[in-house]
């Protein structure tokens, strides 16, 4: 560290310290100014900047623990006492003052005391003499002890740090806890809150940040209807308090309230000593619902025990006391007032027969083989003298070779025993009855493996009596290898008690080498004491014809019935495979959406038959324009999709596009008529435009939209600019949001006619949108948008409510069993139970049974693996609401799903009905669907019936109901009433 006086020139004439010094700083002892300064507790220092000599007052040295004149003078001696961390700051401060860059010299520093400790001092000084050029020659100053101040500052810093830490901890706690918290002052103004309270109350943070009063918060909530009409969402005892913001009644310590979203909040309040309060909000929805479910379960359990005739019996062998539940009294036809259980054996002897008592005693006192579990079927005589059978099952606790307690569950199994006896007595009779149905009967002795076959069963497979060995392995060995695993699994499930009956479909090899499909059903009719199966009887039913029909239907699931082209499902499978190949081989894949221009005009002017011939020819021409390795699919209507694979680039695609346009421009000869159409093509490329299937299909659709909008008979490649089409659909989605509130929707009804009687007791509810500027918008246009945005949930709920109110009226005015079908989107199934009352409950409120409504679903819903879908379908069935499968045969038809879910109606799609003529493939398909549905216990509704011939063919095929323009178009409720009145009048006249 350099001496800061190094730039001061030497001046030997100033060696006398007091020369030219102001009187108040002279060192003579009788100087009153110096005495006063030292009396203040400060130490004085005098520094000759020329010689470096320093002198200190006695007080200056005593502050550091030295006696007077003990310390040497000089800047180096002073610097040696300064704390190393402070020395540079002192040097800088002195230099700044001496060169004039600082107007004063004052600094806090630490100096070493004589005992080695560090002492804080504040050093202040001033130049008292300068030379003729103004350079400083001498400084005088003071040192003041500031240890106490520094200690206080440190303590204050520690206190501030602790307060900051506590405040941060409190804020973190408030932010992290699951409860919402409001802290209010004595004037009931919100002083503090956490984010959780904003979530629970659905109140903006910005609003609470203004520190509103409790009254202002209550007003805000009431205006939104948070408390319900007249506070109905608040627990009764707190309702008055909440409605008046605390001005009426005492502050309730705790109460429950419901939110508009359906949650349940527990509100607790703690009054503070200053008159303020802390209010907490906890979401207890799950607890409240669980408690309600527990109460319902308790009631259900009581009812179940009563219906099942079950009771509990407990014996304490050490005190020889017996305890019964109410169920045991019911079983023995007595009551606690009429009979009190006494000792264990005495009570048992009162009711059980001697033979049963022997078994009971053996289970109690068989010390050589003590068992902790028992399972007995016993005979007893009730208090009224009735002979019954009971099943006793439970556990025993043994100690030192003797039982000390036993707990048993008793069930009255008298009816089961009687039924078993009756079954044995009538076994031969029902075997004969089964034979008369055309089924083959088998009787299996399970331990021995011997199986007896009826004559009819052998005939089903082309054998005579005695040709097949009567062993279970015989038919198992003739079962198709692909069916064996499932057959054995179903059989084991019945043996293990998982299914009430054995049920399986498999193929069996006939004598002539052919395979025959059979439905085998059976039931165990006896088990041994350990529950092992002993005997099983069942049947074989020939279902080969039904299986062939199913195979035909499944084929239709992959190919378009009109053109023979792959359908949408097959296209998607191939697209997935082609994308994998393109990714592997680094090739370009093109997706073409083709829409026939002016096709509707052909349909409208020449009829559907001509339109179908045009589609078949168009499909042939498109196939001829591409390679065999490419895929041409029909998406429905006049829409085709082409996958062109292994392209080098987009340019190599253009000749194919030109070829397709030219081919479809040529004249179509439809019988005696010649028609001209063209095509619009939308093109997207993988991987240039997108890599995901959905994105590619969306791009092709947008490109097709542009091609049609540009005048048709052309193709358009997808570009990012085509997003404008998506924006248009988004605007339509925005319009949908106001459609319900502005009452732009209306419901029309189309009658469903019972073909056998020509009566109408059913109708389908259909929605229509009368847009204020777009006019009548087709459901085909807005329902997909509503589903994508989730608005279909509110729209579907509104349609259901309209239909429920209408069926209530028509059951009163038209027919007591009138039924309305309501379409339910898969999106609605996933949102059921979210803040909305179940449909069954809404029907119950209207006084309607579940059978008044039929829910129509699509086949795609049945493929949804979400457990919520299955639960919703089961809930509908439990409520008596029937389910109809719409557009059957056009989508993802799967017979396994028909067996898995409880479906009441199949609706044959109009694409099968439209071309119905005698001896046609469509008629064969319709017949197959009808037979299959009836076999599965379902009824069939045919859609799109437009001609008398179609109606007659369907009726002859056994179809239950018809729907379509031949009977009536969809109409308003008022027109529907007129339609029904006209039919009634016509029937009376006839």
Cα–Cα distance measured from residue 179 to residue 281, given in angstroms and rounded to the nearest whole number: 5
Q: What is the mean pLDDT of residues 551-566?
A: 83
Is residue 198 within 8 Å of 204, Cβ to Cβ? yes
pLDDT in tens, 413-462: 888 888 777 665 555 555 555 655 678 889 999 998 898 888 888 999 99
Contacts of 837 (CB under 8 A, 6+ apart): 845
pLDDT in tens, 798-818: 999 999 999 999 999 999 999
Lowest mean pLDDT among 57-61, 351-355, 519-523, 821-825: 57-61
Task: Enumerate the H helices of 790-914 as residue ranges.
Answer: 792-813, 826-831, 839-845, 859-862, 867-878, 895-900, 910-913
Beta strands, E only, 76-189: 105-112, 118-130, 136-145, 180-184
pLDDT of 394 over the 50 cut: yes
Lowest mean pLDDT among 421-430, 757-766, 789-798: 421-430
Beta strands 402-412 and 310-316, pairing class: antiparallel
Cα–Cα distance measured from residue 14 to residue 16, given in angstroms and rounded to the nearest whole number: 5
Cα–Cα distance measured from residue 145 to residue 117, given in angstroms and rounded to the nearest whole number: 14
Q: What percent of the chain has pLDDT over 70?
A: 88
Tokens 């997706």 locate to 591
pLDDT of 16 over the 50 cut: no
Contacts of 877 (CB under 8 A, 6+ apart): 883, 902
CB atoms within 10 A of CB 11: 16
Is residue 20 within 8 Å of 29, Cβ to Cβ? no
**Token pair in block for residue 893:** 């038809």
CB atoms within 10 A of CB 356: 20
pLDDT in tens, 133-161: 889 999 999 998 888 888 888 887 777 66
Cα–Cα distance measured from residue 338 to residue 329, given in angstroms and rounded to the nearest whole number: 10
More confident residue, 832 or 568: 568
Q: What angle do CA 679, 685, 686 make, to 5 degrees?
A: 145
Cα–Cα distance measured from residue 785 to residue 772, given in angstroms and rounded to the nearest whole number: 18
> How much is the pTM?
0.36
Cα–Cα distance measured from residue 435 to residue 419, given in angstroms and rounded to the nearest whole number: 22
Cα–Cα distance measured from residue 499 to residue 487, given in angstroms and rounded to the nearest whole number: 14
pLDDT at residue 10 in the model: 42
Cα–Cα distance measured from residue 837 to residue 822, given in angstroms and rounded to the nearest whole number: 17
Cα–Cα distance measured from residue 823 to residue 221, given in angstroms and rounded to the nearest whole number: 37
pLDDT in tens, 199-241: 888 889 889 889 999 888 888 888 888 888 888 888 888 888 8
**Token pair in block for residue 198:** 């904003």
pLDDT at residue 2 in the model: 53
pLDDT of 308 over the 70 cut: no
CB atoms within 10 A of CB 278: 14
Dihedral angle computed from the Cα positions of residues 123, 129, 132 and 137, in that order, rounded to the nearest 10 degrees: -60
Cα–Cα distance measured from residue 441 to residue 987, given in angstroms and rounded to the nearest whole number: 49
Q: Mean pLDDT in the chain? A: 85
Cα–Cα distance measured from residue 750 to residue 212, given in angstroms and rounded to the nearest whole number: 56
**Token pair in block for residue 14:** 């100033």
CA nearest neighbour of 629 among 650, 649, 651, 644: 644
CA nearest neighbour of 812 among 779, 846, 850: 846
3-state secondary structure of 749: strand
Exposure class string for 889-915: b at 16+ Cβ within 10 A, else e: bbbebbbeebeebebbbbbbbbbbbbb
Helical packing angle, 779-789 and 723-739, nearest 10°: 90
pLDDT at residue 1 in the model: 45
Is residue 764 within 8 Å of 820, Cβ to Cβ? yes
Cα–Cα distance measured from residue 632 to residue 592, given in angstroms and rounded to the nearest whole number: 9
Q: What angle do CA 37, 43, 44 make, to 5 degrees?
A: 75
pLDDT at residue 4 in the model: 62
CB atoms within 10 A of CB 393: 14
> Which long-range contacts link 215-220 to residues 24+ away (Cβ below 8 Å)?
215/188, 215/245, 215/246, 217/190, 218/242, 218/245, 219/245
- pLDDT grade, residue 496 (50/70/90)? very high
Q: What is the mean pLDDT of residues 901-919?
A: 89
Beta strands, E only, 222-371: 254-258, 264-271, 277-283, 310-316, 321-324
Beta strands 819-823 and 759-771, pairing class: parallel
Highest mean pLDDT out of 284-293, 729-738, 927-936: 927-936
Cα–Cα distance measured from residue 910 to residue 946, given in angstroms and rounded to the nearest whole number: 9
The CA-atom distances, in angstroms, between 930 and each of 313, 857, 887, 925, 944 are: 54, 18, 14, 9, 16
Q: What percent of the chain has pLDDT over 90?
A: 36
- What is the spatial order of strands in the sheet that 254-258 belongs to? 190-193, 180-184, 277-283, 264-271, 254-258
Kindly calculate the radius of gyration of the chain based on its CA atoms and give it in whole angstroms. 48
How far is Cα of residue 260 from the mean position of the Cα atoms in its chain?
A: 20
Q: Sign of dihedral through CA atoms 82, 83, 87, 93?
A: negative
Q: What angle do CA 359, 364, 368 make, to 5 degrees?
A: 100
Residues in the chain: 990
- pLDDT grade, residue 8 (50/70/90)? very low
Dihedral angle computed from the Cα positions of residues 893, 898, 902 and 906, in that order, rounded to the nearest 10 degrees: 50
Cα–Cα distance measured from residue 94 to residue 8, given in angstroms and rounded to the nearest whole number: 13
pLDDT of 163 over the 70 cut: no
pLDDT at residue 472 in the model: 85
pLDDT of 846 over the 80 cut: yes
Residue 884 region by backbone torsions, left for phi larger than 0, else alpha for psi between -120 and 50, else beta: beta
Cα–Cα distance measured from residue 466 to residue 187, given in angstroms and rounded to the nearest whole number: 101
The CA-atom distances, in angstroms, between 250 and each of 228, 247, 795 are: 21, 8, 44
804 preceded by cis ω (within 30°)?
Answer: no
Helical packing angle, 354-365 and 344-351, nearest 10°: 150
pLDDT of 680 over the 90 cut: yes
**Token pair in block for residue 62:** 């005593």
Beta strands, E only, 194-261: 254-258
Is residue 852 within 8 Å of 819, Cβ to Cβ? yes
pLDDT at residue 624 in the model: 94
Tokens 């040497």 locate to 72
Cα–Cα distance measured from residue 941 to residue 754, given in angstroms and rounded to the nearest whole number: 9
Termini Cα distance of the chain: 128
pLDDT in tens, 855-894: 999 876 776 656 777 788 888 888 999 999 987 766 444 5
Cα–Cα distance measured from residue 670 to residue 852, given in angstroms and rounded to the nearest whole number: 47
């Amino acid at each position: 560290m350099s001496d800061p006086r190094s730039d001061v020139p030497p001046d030997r004439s100033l060696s006398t310290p007091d020369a030219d010094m102001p009187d108040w700083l002279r060192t003579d002892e009788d100087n009153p100014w110096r005495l006063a300064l030292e009396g203040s507790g400060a130490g004085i220092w005098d520094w000759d900047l020329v010689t470096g000599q320093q002198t200190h007052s006695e007080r200056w040295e005593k502050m550091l623990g030295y006696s007077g004149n003990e310390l040497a003078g000089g800047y180096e001696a002073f610097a040696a006492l300064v704390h190393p961390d402070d020395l540079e700051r002192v040097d800088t401060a002195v230099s700044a003052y001496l060169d004039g860059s600082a107007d004063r010299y004052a600094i806090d520093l630490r100096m070493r005391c004589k005992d080695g400790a560090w002492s804080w001092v504040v050093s202040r000084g001033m130049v008292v003499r300068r030379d003729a050029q103004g350079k400083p020659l001498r400084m005088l100053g003071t040192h003041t002890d500031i240890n106490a101040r520094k200690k206080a500052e440190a303590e204050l810093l520690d206190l501030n740090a602790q307060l900051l830490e506590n405040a941060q901890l409190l804020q973190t706690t408030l932010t992290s806890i699951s409860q919402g918290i409001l802290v209010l002052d004595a004037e009931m103004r919100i002083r503090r809150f956490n984010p959780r309270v904003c979530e629970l109350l659905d109140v903006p943070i910005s609003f609470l940040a203004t520190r509103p009063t409790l009254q202002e918060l209550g007003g805000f909530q009431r205006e939104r209807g948070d408390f319900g009409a007249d506070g109905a969402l608040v627990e009764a005892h707190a309702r008055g308090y909440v409605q008046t913001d605390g001005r009426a009644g005492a502050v309730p310590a705790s109460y429950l309230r419901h939110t508009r979203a359906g949650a349940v909040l527990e509100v607790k309040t703690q009054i503070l000593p200053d008159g303020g309060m802390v209010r907490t909000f906890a979401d207890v929805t799950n607890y409240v619902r669980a408690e309600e479910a527990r109460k319902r379960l308790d009631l259900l359990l009581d009812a179940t025990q009563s219906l099942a005739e079950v009771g509990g019996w407990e014996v304490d062998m050490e005190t020889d006391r017996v305890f019964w539940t109410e169920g045991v009294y019911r079983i023995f036809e007595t009551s606690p007032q009429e009979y009190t259980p006494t000792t264990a054996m005495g009570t048992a002897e009162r009711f059980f027969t001697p033979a049963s008592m022997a078994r009971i005693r053996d289970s109690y006192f068989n010390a050589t083989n003590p068992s902790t579990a028992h399972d007995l079927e016993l005979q007893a005589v009730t208090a009224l003298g009735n002979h019954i059978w009971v099943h006793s099952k439970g556990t025993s606790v043994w100690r030192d070779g003797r039982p000390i307690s036993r707990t048993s569950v008793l069930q009255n199994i008298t009816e089961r025993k009687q039924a078993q006896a009756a079954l044995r007595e009538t076994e031969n009779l029902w075997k004969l009855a089964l034979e008369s149905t055309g089924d083959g009967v088998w009787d299996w002795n399970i331990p021995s493996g011997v199986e007896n076959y009826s004559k009819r069963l052998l005939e089903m497979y082309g054998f005579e009596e005695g040709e097949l060995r009567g062993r279970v392995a015989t038919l198992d060995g003739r079962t198709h290898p692909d069916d064996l695993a499932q057959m054995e699994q179903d059989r084991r499930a019945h043996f293990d008690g998982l299914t009430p009956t054995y049920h399986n479909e498999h193929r069996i090899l006939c004598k002539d080498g052919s395979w025959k499909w059979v439905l085998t059903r059976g039931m165990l009719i006896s088990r041994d004491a350990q529950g092992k199966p002993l005997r099983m009887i069942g049947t074989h039913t020939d279902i080969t014809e039904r299986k062939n029909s199913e195979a035909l239907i499944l084929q239709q699931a992959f190919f378009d019935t009109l053109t023979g082209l792959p359908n949408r499902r097959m296209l998607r499978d191939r697209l997935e495979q082609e994308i994998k190949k393109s990714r592997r081989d680094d090739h370009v894949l093109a997706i073409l959406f083709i829409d026939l221009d002016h096709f509707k005009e052909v349909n409208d002017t020449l009829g559907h038959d001509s339109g179908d011939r045009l589609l078949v020819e168009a499909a042939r021409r498109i196939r001829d324009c591409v390679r065999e390795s490419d895929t041409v699919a029909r998406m429905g209507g006049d829409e085709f999709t082409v996958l062109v694979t292994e392209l080098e680039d987009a340019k190599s695609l253009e000749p194919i596009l030109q070829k397709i346009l030219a081919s479809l421009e040529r004249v179509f000869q439809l019988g005696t008529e010649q028609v001209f159409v063209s095509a619009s093509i939308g093109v997207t490329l993988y991987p240039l435009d997108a890599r995901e299937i959905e994105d590619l299909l969306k791009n092709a659709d947008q490109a097709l939209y542009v091609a049609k909008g540009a005048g048709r008979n052309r193709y358009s490649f997808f570009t990012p600019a085509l997003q404008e089409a998506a924006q248009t659909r988004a605007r339509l989605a925005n319009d949908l949001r106001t459609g319900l509130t502005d009452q732009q929707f209306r419901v029309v009804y189309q009658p469903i006619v019972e073909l056998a009687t020509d009566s109408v007791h059913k109708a389908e509810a259909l929605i229509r949108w009368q847009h204020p500027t777009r006019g009548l918008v087709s459901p085909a246009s807005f329902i997909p948008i509503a589903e994508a945005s989730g608005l279909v949930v509110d729209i579907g709920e509104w349609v259901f409510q309209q239909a429920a109110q209408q069926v209530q009226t028509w059951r009163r005015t038209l027919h007591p069993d009138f039924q309305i079908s309501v379409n339910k989107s898969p999106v609605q199934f996933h949102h059921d139970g979210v803040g909305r009352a179940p449909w069954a409950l809404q029907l119950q409120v209207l006084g309607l049974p579940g059978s008044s409504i039929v829910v129509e679903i699509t086949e795609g819903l049945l493929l949804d693996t979400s457990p919520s879908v299955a639960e919703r379908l089961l809930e509908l069935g439990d409520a008596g609401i029937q389910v109809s499968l719409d557009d059957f045969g056009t989508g993802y038809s799967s017979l396994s799903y028909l067996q898995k879910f409880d479906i009441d109606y199949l609706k044959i799609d109009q694409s099968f009905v439209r071309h119905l003529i005698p001896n046609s493939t469509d008629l064969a398909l319709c017949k197959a669907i009808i037979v299959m549905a009836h076999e599965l216990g379902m009824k069939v509704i045919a859609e799109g019936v437009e001609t008398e011939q179609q109606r007659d063919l369907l009726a002859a095929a056994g179809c239950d109901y018809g729907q379509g323009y031949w009977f009536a178009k969809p109409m308003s409720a008022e027109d529907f009433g007129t339609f029904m009145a006209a039919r009634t009048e016509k029937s009376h006249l006839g």
